Amino acid sequence: MQTFEELGVRDDLLRGIHEMGFENPMPVQEKVIPVLLSGDHDLVALAQTGTGKTAAFGLPVIQRIDTERNVPQALILAPTRELCLQIAGDLADFSKYTPDLAVLPVYGGSSIESQIRALRKGVQIIVATPGRLIDLINRGVVKLADVHTVVLDEADEMLNMGFVDSINDILSHVPDDRKMLLFSATMPAEVAKIAKRFMHEPEEIVIGTRNEGAKNVRHVYYMVNARDKYLALKRIADDTPNIYAIIFCRTRRDTQEIADRLIQDGYNADALHGDLSQQQRDIVMKKFRDRVITLLVATDVAARGLDVDDLTHVINFGLPDDTAVYTHRSGRTGRAGKTGVSVAIIHSREKGRLREIERIIGKKFERKEVPTPEHIIEKQLYNLADRLERVEVNEEEIGKYLPGVARKLSWLTTEDLLKRVLSLEFNRLLDYYKDAPKIDFIDEKPAKKDHRERPASDKEKDRRTAEPGMERIYVSAGKADGFFAGNLIDMLNKLIEGKRVDVGRIDLMPSYSLFDVRKSDARRVVAALKGAEFYGKRIYCEIADKEKDYNHSSERKAKAPKKYKK
């Protein structure tokens, strides 16, 4: 294995990177640094996020700067404010012992006046988002005539975000003989067009294979009914006591809703999406980086440029339509030689999409069963035991209080004391998972013949039968009344006091509805819904009777409501 010194990195930069803990070059650095330091031709590098590409282009860019000239000589374009700041910060760390080097991050959402003042003082390296840079070019503040190196980082992300025209505009202000470096995780057609139009016979370096997922990432999936996705998410989180994850959702609405539900259920979670102000986003991301929150629920656009080390999981709350998006998501874990897990929570209709992603990334997804309550509780108990073993004890300080506490608890045996310590931690989990059903989706479907031969009365009885560990509840409102699943959930949230009730399978009939809740919640639900009103209609509710013909009695009530009035 080569050293950074053997790659040609200068002494002042070696000192800086050694202080940062860099010992040996990563594969992308071994391949890219010599090319950038020695050759004058352009370069396309295909590499996943987290493979060390900032140092791969950053060290040679700094080394090629003439610090005696106080004009922009290198331009690095990034898709987001967060990535822009991260790159600028890394370059500042690399060049800690390089005198007279000025690096400036230029991005929207911050004072343009302060950026203008810094530019007028003189900088040699500009790290910019396209929109703000064009604004400064149009104001005549940024001159790119002396730029000899242009880097497009995460080029595929920039094109996904609609920056193609902006990039074309910016590159028209840069000399034709500049060296251009393009870094991308994937190589879609649009990125190839940019390379062909603006680069001169570029050399291509591929770390791994095109569109390949990160090597240190395991890809697993859980298949559940669509209504059980959130329950599966919670079980996955509970089964990983030290989880530190990004949960990706398709829409802003889903993102906020899932984050709100996780917070309500006691998880350290928050949302990151486009409806938040820049200040709100900064606060959320700082809390996530500081591990004040350990579950970040995000949209793809909002999470772009979010650089966080040591993620244990990336969780896909459903699969994206574009495989490149999945590649970007999964590449956020398993970074810098560490391992990570990319999880997909899917329903049966997404199975074909899963197979397509497998084919393109060249990786096989491992199907796993949703963790059972018993497995989760055992995992959490052992984690607590591990924390008790490792906790640092301040003998001097704790010793002051130990005799009094020991007298107070002297009547307890060691086993009693241990039971109480565990109960303090686990009563919530034990209560939540008591009688909880299995939620995996079963692939095997009954033969069509069986469906035809089953009498209608048997189908009705099946509809009135709860899932294991659940109780079936009947309410006298259905689709004909405009009563749907959302109305039911709203009623439960408004009318039931205390702990939130989780709803299982819901069957909506024309004149009545049936739904599952945990057995321990059933009587509370019936008491809350009895006598409630839905748009003027008085609701009747009871624990469902398997032998009762609800279809017949409900239809009769629906057709002749006056008969039941006194």
pLDDT score of 83: 81
Q: Do strands 541-543 and 503-508 pair parallel, antiparallel, or not at all (unpaired)?
A: unpaired
**Co-location of 405 and 552 in the same domain:** no
For residue 403, being part of any structural domain is answered with yes
For residue 277, being part of any structural domain is answered with no
**Co-location of 193 and 229 in the same domain:** no
pLDDT score of 147: 92
In the chain, the number of structural domains is 3
Q: Which whole number is the average pLDDT over 172-201?
A: 80
For residue 151, being part of any structural domain is answered with yes
Band of the pLDDT at 18, cuts 50, 70, 90? Answer: confident
Query: Is the confidence at residue 224, as pLDDT, over 80?
Result: yes
Over the stretch 416-461, which tens digit does the pLDDT of each residue have?
A: 888 888 787 777 777 777 777 778 876 644 444 444 444 544 555 5
- Mean pLDDT for the chain overall: 81
User: Token digits for 301?
Assistant: 């656009």
Query: Is the confidence at residue 61, as pLDDT, over 70?
Result: yes
Query: Is the confidence at residue 183, as pLDDT, over 80?
Result: yes
Query: Is the confidence at residue 463, as pLDDT, over 70?
Result: no
pLDDT score of 292: 92
pLDDT score of 454: 46
Better-scored residue on pLDDT, 364 or 500 = 364
**Co-location of 551 and 417 in the same domain:** no
Closest to 25 in 3D by CA, of 49, 46, 8:
8
**Co-location of 435 and 455 in the same domain:** no
Domain boundary at 418, 444, 470, which?
444
Per-residue H/E/C for 173-234? CCCCCCEEEEEECCCCHHHHHHHHHHCCCCEEEECCCCCCCCCCEEEEEEEECHHHHHHHHH
For residue 288, being part of any structural domain is answered with no
Q: CA separation (Å) from 246 to 84, 162, 217, 273, 560?
A: 20, 24, 14, 12, 54
**Co-location of 233 and 345 in the same domain:** yes
Q: What values do phi and psi take at 270, rounded to 5?
A: -160, 170
Q: Which whole number is the average pLDDT over 115-125?
A: 91
* 468 three-state secondary structure: coil
**Co-location of 440 and 509 in the same domain:** no
Quote the pTM value: 0.54
Closest to 223 in 3D by CA, of 355, 362, 349:
349
Band of the pLDDT at 557, cuts 50, 70, 90? Answer: very low
**Co-location of 228 and 99 in the same domain:** no
Residue 94 CB-density burial (10 A; 0-12 exposed, 13-18 middle, 19+ buried): buried
Domain boundary at 158, 178, 206, which?
206
pLDDT score of 188: 64
Better-scored residue on pLDDT, 381 or 269 = 269
**Co-location of 437 and 516 in the same domain:** no
Query: Is the confidence at residue 336, as pLDDT, over 60?
Result: no
Residue 27 CB-density burial (10 A; 0-12 exposed, 13-18 middle, 19+ buried): middle
Residue 208 · residue 176 · CB < 8 Å: no
Other CB atoms within 10 A of residue 384 CB: 16
pLDDT score of 456: 47
Most confident stretch, 350-354, 391-395, 447-451, 550-554: 350-354
Domain containing residue 482: CATH number: 3.30.70.330
Structural domain span for residue 348: 215-244+310-444
**Co-location of 64 and 155 in the same domain:** yes
| Chain position carrying tokens 């996943």 | 48
Domain containing residue 343: CATH number: 3.40.50
Domain containing residue 109: CATH number: 3.40.50.300
Q: Which whole number is the average pLDDT over 10-19?
A: 88
Domain boundary at 391, 421, 444, which?
444
pLDDT score of 103: 92
pLDDT score of 73: 93
**Co-location of 221 and 336 in the same domain:** yes
CA 236, CA 345: separation in Å to the nearest integer? 10
For residue 471, being part of any structural domain is answered with yes
**Co-location of 544 and 432 in the same domain:** no
**Co-location of 78 and 189 in the same domain:** yes
Least confident of 156-160, 445-449, 494-498, 536-540: 445-449
Over the stretch 62-74, which tens digit does the pLDDT of each residue have?
A: 999 998 898 999 9
CA 384, CA 399: separation in Å to the nearest integer? 23
Q: Exposure string (b/e) for 259-288, b if CB count within 10 Å is 16 or more?
A: bebbbebebbbbbbbeebeeeebeebbeeb
For residue 341, being part of any structural domain is answered with yes
For residue 535, being part of any structural domain is answered with yes
